[in-house]
Amino acid sequence: MAEETLDQRSGVVGTGPSERGVAPIKPQYLATKEQFHTFLESRGKSSGDQAVGEPDGDRAETESSVCDSSEPGAKRLKLDDGKAEGLERQSPGEGEGETQQKRKARGQNKSRPHMKPTRYDDQRLCPSLIQESAEKCFFGERCRFLHDVDTYLASKLPDLGDKCVLFETFGKCIYGVTCRFAGAHLGPQHQNLVKEELVKQWEGQKLTSNGLSKDLQHQLRKKKVQFDLSEKYLKQLSKSGRVGTGKGQTPVPAAGPEASLDSLGHMAPNSTSGEAHESLASVESGLPQSETASGTPEQGATPQRSAVCSSGHLTDEDLIRLRPCEKKRCGNLPFRRICKRFGADVTCGEMAVCTNLLQGQSSEWALLKRHHTEDLFGVQLEGAFPDTMTKCAELLNRTVEVDFVDINVGCPIDLVYKKGGGCALMSRFNKFEQIVRGMDQVLDVPLTVKIRTGVQEKVNLAHRLLPELREWGVALTTLHGRSREQRYTKGADWTYIQHCVNVASPMPLFGNGDILSYEDANRALETGVSGVMIARGALIKPWLFTEIKEQRHWDISSGERLDILRDFTNYGLEHWGSDTQGVEKTRKFLLEWLSFLCRYIPVGLLEHLPQKINERPPYYLGRDHLETLMASQNVDDWISIRFVPEAAPCPSAPQPRSACGSLEPPGERREGNLFSVVSRGPMPPRTAVLPMSPQISGRAHHPIS
């Protein structure tokens, strides 16, 4: 009866606590879809002309920087058998307008314009002029870029603001006249102004590391890089007859010595257990079977490590690790800086494909960049074969500064899985073993592995893999409590993770899945895991790390959330640049992140705490207009947060990837500044209540100089 009464009081069908999968929100904040969009159109006024949390005086400036957002008109739908867009089969007595309103746009918005990096500027200025080089352009008259600054400025889009983040922070903007905020640091003769005091303050400091030099890129493309350790290991495997066939599909061994798992995870007799143990011994020693039996290794062989890498236990059981989301490119460097500021202990770069790194692709190497504030940082690799993974590990061991290297064996993406990488390695036992042992031999830093419970939904493989990973030399394993078939649906199986903790001991095991509050983290730590890894939870509320450290629910205001977005924008301009290409990249990744941020429900609006990560937020009205705007799942409303109207049209107005968030034609959009640039100042860094771990895997961590 209480649930029915609550639904009647709310006046909204299907949003009460009786409906599974829907977040419980206090009745006074619930709204229908029509009421929600009417509230946004009226800028903070409900349909009954009643104020629902007008912004206070401190937020008046913030509200003025957010432009009006109107509901887009009739959305363009795909053509169906040559019929007009937006029309479907009509029943007798049903009008065309009514049908248009009922039909919902679905699927990918393939008609959106795709902007390539070379099209950001119609006329690009020569890099020799941007960098103020003393030497003339190397190409001379053959150069296809502009060399006349006045001509470039005449065709350049208007500035987005009167303050440049790079100029205000570092004293000099390296993008010169191409900067979209160039008016803040250009002199009367278009010369680039410099603040000498700030430049001296930052002189000699290394802000980011792990970049790809032109010399290394040239050597990789010409295949002139030597991989001595990798070639030696692969030669030893070739002598043992375990490389080159591409078939190595030995199933995961079971707990007993005479049993194994078939490809579907069912028990099957193991007729070649003796041969398997013999080959395991040869691979562990890195020698052919004949030399292993005789006990006389070849001269000059590399000293072998113990079966279990001397990593030891983690000293801090409240260690929190941040991991990028596999579905979208959101775990970028500016986002990790936000998370570090809120208390994340360990950060990991986005998944990088080993073959792309070996080919010297700049876009893939950009995923390895590390900010100087990331004191414990690792990179995550994806690959399917021991030759490429081992060579890539040796290359990174020589060229980048990382504290650990992670193998992604939890990626469920079809493109990766069908090539034998990601989750497919869990059922490709021989290849998985060869990859781990090879990378462990060529790395000087700990090797970690990220896995799922298994491939099929009801066939768990992790508990059988963990003892083998420990023997192969893995220093730490992270277990996501879902299978590949589950993807991100249903709940993570923390009971199974608890069982795997005992199986993996003494190897540290991190748990991952469905952590969106400090209470979720506490329940996860009760299972005995050495730490927790957070992905989607950090994307939805990056201040989650502060909540875990301080053991409290943070009812963050809309103004504070807007400040976080401003800081992300500034970090993005620092990382990707303040020219047109950098601004477009910042906008792109900001939109990607906003697709997660809109799922957050403020603490003060929830009927009971905490919010569950897989609960769908219903339509609700926030305590002020900005809070309601941030709850919208319409791309048009996200852009309303991002843009301040200007006079110049935007040739590359962002278009949504999904047809359900389609916008009006690009020509009707006005370009504006990212969050009006003028901020009330960055948020102060938050100190962690719990002590941070001085060691991980037996290695002291320290900031990069």
Give catalytic residue positions: 411
Output DSSP code: residue 79: -
Helices 635-642 and 580-597: crossing angle in degrees, nearest 10, is: 130
Q: Is the peptide bond preceding residue 17 cis, with omega within 30 degrees of 0?
A: no
445-451-457 Cα angle (round to 5): 180
Nearest Cα neighbor of 541 from 335, 320, 683 is 335
Q: Are 45 and 54 in contact (CB under 8 A)?
A: no
Output DSSP code: residue 569: H
Cβ-count burial 540-578 (b if 16+ within 10 Å, e if not):
bbbbbbbbbbbeebbebbbbebbbbbbbbbbbbbbbbbb
**What is the Cα 240 distance to its own chain's centre?**
40
Amino acid, single-letter form, for residue 647? A
d(CA 547, CA 400): 33
Q: Are 520 and 544 in contact (CB under 8 A)?
A: no
Output DSSP code: residue 305: P
d(CA 679, CA 568): 12
d(CA 73, CA 83): 20
Pairing of strands 377-382, 404-409: parallel
Q: Are 37 and 46 in contact (CB under 8 A)?
A: no
270-271-272 Cα angle (round to 5): 95
d(CA 524, CA 498): 9
For 351, the 3-state DSSP assignment is strand
d(CA 486, CA 492): 9
Structure tokens at 401: 């500064």
609 vs 487, 519, 580, CA distance in Å?
26, 9, 43
Pairing of strands 695-696, 531-534: unpaired
d(CA 401, CA 393): 12
d(CA 424, CA 384): 8
Pairing of strands 346-353, 319-322: parallel
For 21, the 3-state DSSP assignment is coil
Output DSSP code: residue 605: G
Q: What is the signed CA dihedral for 346, 352, 353, 357, rounded to 10 degrees? A: -110
Q: Are 680 and 387 in contact (CB under 8 A)?
A: no
Instruction: Give the position of tokens 């090879």.
Output: 438
d(CA 29, CA 334): 33
Nearest Cα neighbor of 578 from 215, 299, 172 is 172
Q: Give me the phi and psi of 187, to 5 degrees please.
A: -85, -175
Going through 287-421 in order, the beta strands assigned E by DSSP cover 319-322, 346-353, 370-371, 377-382, 404-409
CB contact set of 605 (below 8 Å; sequence gap of 6+)? 25, 26, 29, 620, 622, 623
The helix or strand, by DSSP H or E, that contains position 626, with its residue range, turns out to be helix 625-630
Instruction: Give the position of tokens 């414990």.
Output: 376
For 125, the 3-state DSSP assignment is strand
Q: What is the 3-state secondary structure (H, E, C) of 385-437?
A: CHHHHHHHHHHHHHHCCCCEEEEEECCCCHHHHCCCCHHHHHHCHHHHHHHHH
